[in-house]
Amino acid sequence: MRKLMDFKILALCLGALSTASVSAAGDAAAGHAKAFACMGCHGVPSYTNVYPTYHVPKLGGQHAQYLVTALTEYKNGQRSHTTMHAQAASLSEQDIEDIAAYFEAAKD
């Protein structure tokens, strides 16, 4: 019984921690894993969008705050781009924070 109580307290503490981390800055290491799909386009130096044709933007070193805004707008449909909407739609707020933190810290 005592052990169960300890476990409950631990669970409560962990719950409080994870809730706090939602609003905290992103985790670049977690973002690295979550950014795998992004790299298919944004990790290829010469990659271009088609119709209209332009280079997909460089993201390495970009401000995380701006990237969070961009991804959130793609997710919500405020910024329109079919591929980016499809990619961003399934991301949670924490995913977006983590991915943004990864690209802000990313070097070539």
Partner 1 sequence: MKTSALIVLGLALIGVSNLAHAAGDAAAGKQKSATCTACHGADGNSTDPQYPRLAGQHASYLERALLDYQSGARKNPIMAAFAAPLSGTDIADLTAYFSSQTGLVTPVLPRLVPR
Distance CA 88, CA 72 (A): 7
Q: Which of 37, 63, 77, 92 binds partner 1 (CB under 8 A)?
A: 63
Q: Which is nearer to partner 1, 19 or 53 (CB)?
A: 53
Cα–Cα distance for residue pair 96/108, rounded to 1 Å: 21
| 73: amino acid identity, one letter | E
**Cβ distance to partner 1 smaller for residue 19 or 108:** 108
Q: Does 39 bind partner 1 (CB under 8 A)?
A: yes
Does position 77 bind partner 1 by CB under 8 A?
no
Q: Counting contacts by CB under 8 A, is residue 85 touching partner 1?
A: no
Please say which residue, 10 or 44, places its beta carbon nearer to partner 1: 44
- Among 6, 14, 58, 77, which residue sits at the site for partner 1 (rule: CB under 8 A)? 58
Contact assessment for residue 64 and residue 103, using Cβ atoms and an 8 Å cutoff = yes
Q: What is the C-alpha to C-alpha distance for residues 11 and 17, in angstroms, rounded to an integer?
A: 10
Q: Could you tell me if 75 and 88 are in contact, meaning their C-beta atoms sit under 8 angstroms apart?
A: yes
Decide if residue 90 touches partner 1 (CB under 8 A).
no
Q: How many residues does the chain have?
A: 108
Give the interface with partner 1 as residue ranges (CB under 8 A): 36, 39, 42-45, 48-49, 52-66, 69, 78-80, 103, 106-108
